[in-house]
Every structure is written in structure tokens, then in C-alpha cells.
Amino acid sequence: MMKTKRQEYTLKKCLSPIESKYDFIIMDNPPNGERIKENALAYADYLILPTIPDDNALHGLFCLSNEIVDVREDVNPQLSVLGVLVTIDENTRNKKAYKRVLQEQTIFPAFRTTIRKNTYLSEARNSRKPINFYDRRTNGYTDYLALTDEILEKISERSD
């Protein structure tokens, strides 16, 4: 359970003076970095929950749901989950089954868009370039472009 401490507001304190200069501030946090995750949850308006379609995914979402309830109660009542994002999506029978379960679960909303497994995404990351600069002809670029459109659509719906 996340308790209110001054450290949870460090990120908010640092970003508040500049946030009006940006439409979006996107943070990608490692799942095991507890302090940065607490700071991000205390600051964020929206969450995207990337999930690999496997047998641990639903359990992970359930555990995360409890943590998000605590954050909303104790630290950030505005925190909202935009959706579960299936990543490393493959066209195998096993992965299709897990993907279907993830997209039909009722813990959190799910994105229609998935991010397909794509070696170009790894190459772009290793080259320290975003996929749109590395190679726009890849599935990785197409998938992230579709995800961007869906994110903007969801945020627009919520602000209306």
C-alpha cells in the first residue's frame, strides 16, 4: 500500500513549472523501480499498461488494480487508466488466446491497437532512435502511429 510521503511528490514538484509548455509528458517506467513508479503514479493523469500476452498478465493486472486503488485513495484521485496495451503481439494460437483474454478482461479498459513483435523496434532502440526516424516502413511504426491515434481519441472522449 502506497503511503503519502514527501518523496512521492518529487517528480510533480520538478515537472510542475514546465508542464504548461507541453501538451503531453510521457514517462516510461520500469516495473521494478518502486520509487520512480510511486512518483509517476502520484503525478500522472493517465496510465497505459503495457502487457505481454502470457499466463502471468491477468494476475499482474489484478495486483496492479489494487495498487491503483490505493494511489487514488491516498495520493492522486485523478489517476485514470487509459487502457491495457498488448505488446510483443504474435500471430500464434497461444498468443491469440492470451490477447483475447486481455482485451476482454474487465479490470481495465483495453486498447484495440496492439504492438506486434518486431525486430525493427529493438534495432531502433539500440540505435537510440525513435521508430519514426529509424524506419517508417515497419509494423512497429504503423502500430505506434495507430496507438497514438487511439490515445488521442480516448483522451478527447474523456475531456468532453
Q: Is the pLDDT of residue 110 over 60?
A: yes
Residue 36 confidence (pLDDT): 84
Residue 1 inside a domain? The answer is: no
Stretch 135-139: mean pLDDT = 94
Q: CA–CA distance from 148 to each of 60, 85, 152 (Å)?
A: 24, 12, 6
Domain identity same for 151 and 98: no
Residue 31 inside a domain? The answer is: yes
Domain identity same for 15 and 69: yes
DSSP secondary structure letters along the chain = -PPP-GGGGHHHHHHTTTGGG-S-------TT-HHHHHHHHHH-SEEEEEE-SSTTHHHHHHHHHHHHHHHHHHT-TT-EEEEEEE-SB--SHHHHHHHHHHHH-SSS-B-S---B--HHHHHHHHTT--HHHH-TTSHHHHHHHHHHHHHHHHHHHHH-
Domain identity same for 70 and 111: yes
Question: CB–CB of 2/74 below 8 Å?
Answer: yes
Residue 39 inside a domain? The answer is: yes
Other C-beta atoms lying within 10 Å of the C-beta of residue 88: 16
Residue 5: pLDDT band by 50, 70, 90 thresholds? low
Domain around 140 = 119-160
Residue 22 inside a domain? The answer is: yes
Residue 67 inside a domain? The answer is: yes
Residue 6 confidence (pLDDT): 63
Stretch 49-55: mean pLDDT = 93
Domain identity same for 90 and 141: no
Domain identity same for 113 and 123: no
